[in-house]
């Protein structure tokens, strides 16, 4: 919606940007309270809170990836879609999704890395004087920390490494290789060999039969028109209505002003201004740490990344290792 509607993008893109910037553990504090109120005395509330936190750690990154891909869709491909009179439904599944698929798969891998981090963090949460523990590696590590059992923590790290390795080999490597056929490039690039899992799936008769059946069903669904196709002759030079834009800006300004007034009113009634100043001060210290760490990481790893990227042989060796290490949840190393 943000990519297709300029006015909707004025609202949705900043909202997504803000939601992506909010620390996920900040969501966890109030979502646990909310879901526990929906299911008092039941573990379902904590389970839903954990699912929500894992969702928020992945959704915004993937949404931005899809939005960015749609905004970069080449004009000649859009003209081809209009020439074939594809309906919006057909254009979405036969042009928009395939074009966005490579970036979406890569961002899914990055989002999965964040998901592992918050899986561990959300399975053992303390809100106030209450601690919620869910079955999983997070609560296992929390119990091992309480007992100061370093051997159990080592087993947890080993188990997580095995799980990430299985995800990488059985799921993401085949998906990345499969999405490569949708890559839109004007020049020929190096083609990496297919991973062993994808080769096995293609050579196994059972998987081929299942894949062909699913492909046939999905292809029929994607070919449904559901609405009239786009006209070949489109007036590209029509300027947007200034009156509608002015009204839209006015609505956004009124909504932002009302939201700001409610926030100020809430803060003035529930907090002291000294509390707000203290929160800003503590947040500034955190911001300074993040800036310093980002600068140090950029100084060290950007030259290394450039060196690796300019050498295809080094890329083939280092890239899988870097992806594997990036997926490992760093909070398991805190003990």
The whole-angstrom separation of Cα 98 and Cα 104 is 10
Q: Inter-axis angle of helices 312-326 and 97-122, to 10 degrees? A: 40
The whole-angstrom separation of Cα 126 and Cα 28 is 10
Say yes or no to pLDDT of 314 above 70.
Answer: yes
Q: Candidates 3.40.50.360, 3.30.70.100, 3.40.50.300, 1.10.3720.10; correct CATH number of 6-233?
A: 1.10.3720.10
Which residues are 125's β-sheet partners?
A: 132
The whole-angstrom separation of Cα 89 and Cα 81 is 11
**Tens digits of per-residue pLDDT, 242-253?**
787 788 788 888
Helices (H), the chain: 6-21, 24-38, 44-71, 75-83, 88-91, 97-122, 137-146, 150-167, 173-179, 196-203, 205-222, 242-270, 273-309, 312-326
Rounded to the nearest 5 degrees, what angle is found at the Cα of 256, between the Cα atoms of 29 and 54?
30
Give the model's pLDDT for residue 283. Answer: 86
Task: Give 333 or 179, the one with higher predicted confidence.
Answer: 179
Residue 335, Cβ density class (10 Å: 0-12 exposed, 13-18 middle, ≥19 buried)? middle
Give the model's pLDDT for residue 40. Answer: 77
pTM of the prediction? Answer: 0.70
Task: Give 180 or 286, the one with higher predicted confidence.
Answer: 286
Q: Which of 24-28, 129-133, 135-139, 224-228 has the highest mean pLDDT?
A: 135-139
Please tell me what DSSP assigns to residue 180: G
| Count of positions (residues) in the chain | 335
**Tens digits of per-residue pLDDT, 59-80?**
888 888 888 888 888 888 888 8
């Amino acid at each position: 919606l943000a990519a297709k509607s300029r006015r909707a993008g004025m609202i949705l893109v900043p909202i997504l940007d803000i939601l992506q910037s909010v620390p996920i553990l900040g969501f966890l504090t109030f979502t646990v309270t909310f879901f526990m109120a929906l299911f008092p005395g039941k573990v379902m509330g904590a389970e839903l809170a954990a699912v929500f936190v894992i969702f928020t750690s992945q959704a915004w990154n993937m949404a931005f990836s899809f939005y960015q891909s749609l905004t970069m869709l080449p004009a000649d491909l859009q003209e081809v879609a209009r020439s074939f009179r594809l309906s919006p439904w057909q254009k979405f599944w036969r042009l928009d999704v395939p074009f966005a698929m490579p970036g979406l798969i890569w961002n899914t891998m990055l989002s999965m890395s964040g998901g592992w981090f918050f899986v561990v963090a959300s399975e053992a949460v303390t809100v106030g004087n209450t601690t919620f523990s869910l079955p999983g590696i997070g609560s296992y590590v929390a119990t091992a920390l309480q007992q100061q059992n370093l051997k159990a923590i080592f087993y947890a790290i080993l188990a997580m490494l095995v799980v990430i390795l299985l995800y990488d080999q059985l799921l993401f490597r085949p998906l990345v290789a499969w999405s490569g056929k949708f890559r839109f490039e004007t020049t020929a690039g190096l083609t990496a060999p297919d991973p062993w899992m994808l080769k096995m799936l293609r050579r196994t008769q059972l998987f081929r039969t299942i894949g062909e059946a699913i492909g046939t069903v999905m292809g029929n669904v994607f070919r449904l028109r559901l609405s009239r196709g786009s006209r070949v002759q489109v007036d590209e030079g029509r300027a947007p209505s200034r009156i509608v834009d002015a009204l839209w800006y006015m609505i956004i300004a009124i909504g932002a002003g009302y939201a700001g007034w409610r926030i100020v009113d809430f803060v003035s009634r529930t907090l002291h201004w000294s509390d707000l100043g203290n929160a800003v001060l503590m947040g500034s210290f955190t911001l300074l740490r993040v800036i310093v760490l980002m600068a140090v990481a950029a100084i060290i790893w950007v030259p290394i990344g450039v060196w690796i990227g300019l050498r295809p042989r080094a890329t083939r060796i280092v890239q899988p290792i870097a992806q594997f290490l990036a997926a490992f949840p760093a909070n398991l190393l805190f003990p």
